[in-house]
Each structure stands twice: as structure tokens, then as C-alpha cells.
Chains A and B, each alone.
Chain A
Amino acid sequence: MSAKTHGILFAGVGGQGVLLGAEITALAAVHSGYDVKQTEVHGVSQRGGSVETHVRFGSKVWSPIVTPGKTDVVVGLEKLEALRFAHYAHPKDGIILVNDHEIVPGSVKNAEDIYPHDAIDRMREIGCLVLPMEASRVARDLGDGRMANVVMLGAMATFLPITEEAWIETLNRRIPEKYRESNLKAFMAGHALASVMEERPSVRA
């Protein structure tokens, strides 16, 4: 078990399952015997706005919130949202996992024209590893694009000191039976995608 405190930030658009991703991560960390804290967002931002949640786990966790420039993993379920929170990643040791998927904000004028299609390149300015993934496409191929969050979880899991058994056990407990099998497939698909990525660092304990 890892002694250091690990910090993860999940970012996305309200309705993408940002909260669920964070919750499953937190529960898997609890299952692994860690002290865990997690933030949630409720209220207005859940209406299609920008949503972020944080998970921290380790032997003793004080603050539930992560710090810009010091976060181990930033998981972006959407490109613009990954860009917005990219600076949270540690510039050297951090990892940004980004779903190569665009949701253009409906409540901004000329949003289509000013949307940052080059977000992934811009995130690389931070200096840390940026790993784009076609999570939405993978999820769609598995039958439902809304499982992109679970595909991303599978990928993220390869970078964290939480056992596969803890992840599977948590998914089994947390996902309703009707959706369980497809979500397990989505998780394993993300896991497989990230495992074969070049330049991937080993799990840091």
C-alpha cells in the first residue's frame, strides 16, 4: 500500500458521469484500505456546465481538494474541460488523460467558432504526459457512448496503486445489474488501451 497521498481531478460536462467516476475511484481506494476523501459538485453546475471533482487517498488524508500544479492525474472527459483543469497536473510527474471528444458549450455566443479544437496540443505546454484517448468512440462501439467515463476509469486505473480486484469489486457493487456487464467491458477496454500506450510510466507507489 502506498504511503504518499494520491490526488486525482476529474473534469467534464454536467451529465457525463464525472461524479460517478470519482465515486467509483474513491470506493475502490477504500476497498484497498486507504484513507479517502472526495469532493462533489451539486446544484446549478450539474446542468450541462463545467464539473470537477477531486479524489485523494493515502495513509492519512487531510484536505479533500487537490492543488494546482501538484495533482497526480487529471482525467478530462471532454477536451475543453481537460484544458480548463490541465494546470492542476504536476508539470513533471503528472498525467493528463483526456477523452478526445468535443462538446461545444450551448450557452456561449459563437461557441462553435471559438472552441479550442487544439486543446490537446495546448495542454502539452504544461510539460507533463498528456494521453489522449478515444473513450467516447470506444464506449459507443460497446453500445453506449455514455460509458466513456468508465472507459477513462479503466485507463486511469493502470496508473494508480489500487488493485484490479478492488476496481472490479467496486464496479460490481456500484453499477446496477442491468448495466454491469457492459460497464465492466468498458472498464477493461480502457484498461487495455492505456496498458499498451507508449511512454507510459510505471505505477508510482
Chain B
Amino acid sequence: MKTELMLGNRALARGAWEAGVEFAAGYPGTPSTEILETLAHFPEVRSQWSANEKVAFEEGMGAAIGGIRVLVTMKHVGLNVAADPFMVFPYAGTNAGFVLVSADDPGMHSSQNEQDNRYLARMAKVPILEPSDAQECKDFVGLGLQLSEEFQTPVMLRTTTRLAHHKGLVSLGERESVPQKEFVPDPRRFSVPIYRRILRPQVEARLDRLREYAETTPVNRLEEGTGEIGVVTSGIAYQYVKEILPEASVLRLGMTYPLPANLLRDFCARHETVYVIEEGEPFIEEFIQTLGITNLVGKERFGVIGEYSPGRLAQAMGMEDSAVTELEAMPRPPMFCIGCGHRTVFSGLRQLKVTVAGDIGCYTMGALPPYEASHTTFNMGASIGTAIGLEQAGHERVVSIIGDSTFIHAGLPALVDAVYNGSNLTLLILDNSTTGMTGGQPHPASGSSLTGEQAPKLNLEQLCRATGVEHVQVADTWDRKAVLGAIRKALAHNGPSVVISEGPCVRLPEMRQREIIPYYVDEELCTQCDACFKVWCPAITRTDDGFPVIEAADCTACTVCAQVCPVDAMYPFAQETLPLA
């Protein structure tokens, strides 16, 4: 059988393809993004980025009711956005298989919170599968779809960052052909909310049947060891347990909702001490406690915060003499890329000394030095509502800042609200034609689709005008004066106003592959006034003689340094024209 070293997320995509998925939708979010990016290469699966997670979920729901197998993907907080359909869908239940991938981020590598979405699935009464390695990422998609069809329920497949973004060897299979299921309209099931009362007991009955299934499913696997120690574990933590306790008896739970009460009772009775090792909240542990079992060691010892690791677990078990001490090293927070169009915006905002309500995207980095020009960040789309609230609390000169993708995702209703409720909002939309932070995924205003086809391009300027905003101005994001001037005018305008700073993300292929002439410092002209250093471009460093020097291979010819140079000592100079690799 062919094996391949594969990222967990790519394995999930492969699993969906092999299991006959025909439609896949989601919204980019770390650590889930690569699943759909991979699926886009399989022509048998119609894959798309949706406007937001709620829309993606609803599209998936429709496709599954309509009779084809579906995969929907999102990061943990994305499920908050999709929670509305997620809580209702299980009542009707699905027709064809529906698997939701919820990618949780313990340790908050690229997220604003830690959130264990197993609780959301339990609230929705939806079964949960938790793979432990890349191979299972692939296999559990197929299993999830089978369960989904057998029990007529959506299934959540929960991954975590380390699982989604680790690579392991995966054996590959062929695509299964799954005939489309017939959609039979049924008002009781699908159409009339009041009838959901009739469906309500059926949800509980289904859970009872799933409880029975959990007792015998092969993914809840007992591995007999030789020692006294018993371990109940799930997800990537299983690997860490095998690493540090090779002799222990392990009950590996691949299905973590509903949980197998008998299996757990029996396992805990046979061991003096049972360690419950799961990343995130004490989801399994609390369930075992409800069975009246007390010989458990879990979160009290291992903690709920952050990621687990073999080292952390070994230490918590007293297997290590002492912790290894880190050497002191100054931090290195991330920063805007060389040539990033956000730089001019944040240096302008810093200059204007306004209060800035920020949003989710690369521009959260505007809160860091040297700009320190973003004062709140919460969740997708929150910049606009937060600014309206700050205004209500008496703060003047408040600016909302939001990226194009985030604006489409959740900003639009808030802008409508700003107009409707007579806010004096100044909104800055950073339009870089892509979803930048997650690595450059197209969205409805990009002009292309996930699969690279041309797509209708939403016109953000017209959209803003249509909400009733009269003052809408577009500026070239690399033109410092234009950006600053536009923000000034917008602040002075009485009533809601929008500034769209436009310019593609420098990481987009079309920007990386274009021919450019890098900028160069003419030391004959340079007076060492250091104005160019205030651009904070990482491509500009200092020579031993104190002159600025631009790394030609890194320069994107954004021109911003040349704009601030008072003596025109910086200009394009074609030593050799290199495409940016």
C-alpha cells in the first residue's frame, strides 16, 4: 500500500475524498485552513470558501439533506459563528453523511482564546470523534460519515493544533463511490419549528443508541499493559502517553461523546489509579466522575491551560527530577511583512492619536511597537460594534479597523447598524484582496474562488455606499499622504464614514512573482537623518558607517521609504532584477 508523509489537515482532506465527499465548505482559520486548500485539488469534490462559518455550515446542511456527503471545516471560534445551525440541525438529523471538523487551538498559537469545542458538541447532542495521528485524521472522516448516515446525525471531528499541523506517515486508499440519497420532504423533520417538539425525544433516543455504539466501537481501544497504571486518553495526548508510559494500560477513546460508561467503569475498577489525560477541559474526566468513580488523577495534576507535551506530562507525574531551565531570550513577536500595506495605515493612526478598535487579522500587530496604534481586539467583526460602544461611552475620534475578508465575514451587519443608529463611526477597511493572516485565501471581494477560478468580485466601495454611508474614500495603501489625508477627512466628516486602503497582500503569488526593481540608498545623497528607519521596514538595516542599506533580495519596491526620505536618496536601482522567491 502506498504511504505518504502527510500533514494532519491534508490527511483529513484525503479522507474526505476517499470517503466520497462531494461538497466541502468552510472559512479559513488556523489550524483548519489546509483541509479545504487540499480538497481544492480533487476535482470530484466541489470545495469552496464561504462568506463565514455559519453560511458554510448551512450550505453543508443543505447539501447533506439533499443527499450528498459533506465536509465542513472551521477553527474552534468559527463554530461560535455557526452555533445557530449547529444546535438545530441534530433535531432534524441528516440524510447523507455530514462531518464537521472543529479545529481547536490549545496553547492559542494563532487564536484569541482557548475553547474546548467538545462542550459545544455535547450541548448540540452531536457525537465527537478525536483522531490521534495523521492516519486517523484520514480514517476518521470516513468513519464519521458512516456514523452520520447510520444514526442520521451530524458528527463533529475534533482536531487540535498539534494534530492538524503535524506530519506522519499515512497509507492511501482509493475513492469510494457513494450513490446520492433521495431527499424526501418531511414537514415534521425539516420545515415546521413547532414539530421539533416531536423530534426532541428522538434526539435523546439517538444518543442512547450512540452510547451503546460507543461501548463497542473499535476506535475506543483498550491496550493492555503490564503495570499498575491505567490511562484514559484521547487525541494527540495518546501519543504522549505512549511515549512516556510504554508499559501502562491505556484506554484510548477515539469517540469522546457520548462516552462508554461500562467500558470506563470496568477499566477504572481494574486499576488502582487511573490517569485521565486529555488536552483542553476535563471533558472525559468530569463524565467519569459522574459515574461515582474517584480513583482518578486528571486536570488537578496536568492542568487545563495550554498544550500538553511528553515533557510536561512526565514532569506532572514526577518522572523528571527537575525542570530544564530556559535561557533568557528577548521576545520576538511577529510583525508586518516587508512591503506590507498595513504599515502606512498604522503609522498614520499613530500620528493622529486616535482610539482604534481593531479586528482579527494580521493588523492585530498594529497594537505592538513601534505602532502601538490598536487598542481593542476581540473577535471577528467586533471592531465596528466596539467602536460604536466606545462612542456611546463618550470617546471621540474612534476608528474601527478591519480587513476585507473579516468585513465580509461579520463586519457588514455592524456597519448597517452604525448607519441605522446614527453613529459617527470612522471605518477603515484594509483591502488587500485576500484573507492574509491564514496565508492568502480568496474571498468574495478577491475575484477568484478556492479552486482558482474567476469569480464575481464584490465591490466594497459600492457595498458601503449601499448601507447609507455617504463619505466613502478609496486610497492607495502605499501612498502615505493619501492614506493619512483620507483618514483625516473621514474623522472630520459628520456622520459615518469609510476609508478603503487598497493594495494586494505582498504574499500573494501575483505580488511575489512580479518583476520589480528594488530600492537602493545613495550614500552620496543620504544625510543619515534616519527618517527611513521610522518606516520600520525589516529590509532596511544599518551599515557599519551608519547609512541605511536595503536588502535588495527582500525589497518589494513599496516606495514607502522613498516617500519619507527628505533628500531623495532612495530610488529604484536595477543591479539585477530578481523575482521574489
Chain B CB count within 10 A is highest, among A43, A115, A116, A146, for A43
The residues in B between 318 and 361 inclusive whose CB is less than 8 angstroms from any CB of A are: 323-327, 329-337
For the complex, give the distance between the alpha carbons of A69 and B168 in Å: 24
Chain A CB count within 10 A is highest, among B5, B167, B310, B336, for B167
Q: Tell me whether B581 is interfacial, beta carbon within 8 Å.
A: yes
The residues in A between 106 and 152 inclusive whose CB is less than 8 angstroms from any CB of B are: 106-109, 111, 114-116, 119, 122-123, 125-126, 144-146
* Contact indicator per residue, chain B 297-331, by CB within 8 Å of chain A (1) or not (0): 00000000000011100100000000111110111
Q: How many A-B residue pairs have CB under 8 A?
A: 166
CB contact under 8 A between A44 and B437, given known A36-B5, A67-B309, A125-B327:
yes
For the complex, give the distance between the alpha carbons of A103 and B517 in Å: 24
Q: Once the chains bind, are B330 and A26 in contact (CB under 8 Å)?
A: no
* Contact indicator per residue, chain A 86-105, by CB within 8 Å of chain B (1) or not (0): 11100000000000000101
Q: Once the chains bind, are A81 and B332 in contact (CB under 8 Å)?
A: yes
Q: How many residues of B contact A (CB 8 A)?
A: 50
Q: Tell me whether A37 is interfacial, beta carbon within 8 Å.
A: yes
Q: Tell me whether A188 is interfacial, beta carbon within 8 Å.
A: no
Q: Once the chains bind, are B439 and A42 in contact (CB under 8 Å)?
A: yes
Q: Once the chains bind, are B167 and A37 in contact (CB under 8 Å)?
A: yes
The residues in A between 30 and 61 inclusive whose CB is less than 8 angstroms from any CB of B are: 30, 35-50, 61
Q: Once the chains bind, are A107 and B324 in contact (CB under 8 Å)?
A: no
Chain A: CB-nearest residue to B540: A106
Q: Once the chains bind, are B310 and A43 in contact (CB under 8 Å)?
A: no
Q: Once the chains bind, are B310 and A67 in contact (CB under 8 Å)?
A: yes
- Shortest Cβ distance from residue B577 to the other chain A in the assembled complex, whole angstroms: 14
- Shortest Cβ distance from residue A5 to the other chain B in the assembled complex, whole angstroms: 9
Q: How many residues of A contact B (CB 8 A)?
A: 58
CB contact under 8 A between A30 and B169, given known A13-B332, A40-B7, A62-B239:
yes
Q: Once the chains bind, are B331 and A47 in contact (CB under 8 Å)?
A: no
For the complex, give the distance between the alpha carbons of A158 and B307 in Å: 33
Q: Tell me whether A75 is interfacial, beta carbon within 8 Å.
A: no
Q: Tell me whether A63 is interfacial, beta carbon within 8 Å.
A: yes
Q: Tell me whether B240 is interfacial, beta carbon within 8 Å.
A: yes
Q: Tell me whether B47 is interfacial, beta carbon within 8 Å.
A: no
Q: Once the chains bind, are A49 and B335 in contact (CB under 8 Å)?
A: yes
Q: Tell me whether B370 is interfacial, beta carbon within 8 Å.
A: yes
Chain B: CB-nearest residue to A125: B327
Q: Tell me whether B242 is interfacial, beta carbon within 8 Å.
A: yes
Partner of B438, one of A43, A88, A103: A43
Q: Once the chains bind, are B162 and A105 in contact (CB under 8 Å)?
A: no
Q: Tell me whether A18 is interfacial, beta carbon within 8 Å.
A: no
Q: Tell me whether B243 is interfacial, beta carbon within 8 Å.
A: yes
Q: Once the chains bind, are B329 and A80 in contact (CB under 8 Å)?
A: yes
Chain A: CB-nearest residue to B132: A62
Chain B: CB-nearest residue to A112: B542
Which chain A residues border B336 with CB–CB below 8 Å? 47-48
* Contact indicator per residue, chain B 407-426, by CB within 8 Å of chain A (1) or not (0): 00000000000000000000
Partner of A108, one of B33, B240, B331: B331
Ranked 4 nearest A-B pairs via Cβ: A43-B110, A49-B334, A43-B30, A69-B324
Residues of B near any A CB (own CB < 8 A)? 5, 7, 30-31, 33-34, 109-110, 162, 165-169, 236, 239-240, 242-243, 309-311, 314, 323-327, 329-337, 362, 364-365, 368-370, 437-439, 536, 538, 553, 581
Residues of A near any B CB (own CB < 8 A)? 13-15, 23, 26-27, 30, 35-50, 61-65, 67-70, 80-81, 83-84, 86-88, 103, 105-109, 111, 114-116, 119, 122-123, 125-126, 144-146, 179
A63-B310, A119-B329 are known contacts; what are 18 more A-B pairs with Cβ within 8 Å? A14-B334, A37-B168, A38-B5, A42-B110, A43-B30, A44-B364, A61-B168, A63-B239, A64-B166, A65-B310, A67-B314, A88-B324, A105-B333, A106-B536, A107-B332, A108-B331, A109-B369, A116-B329
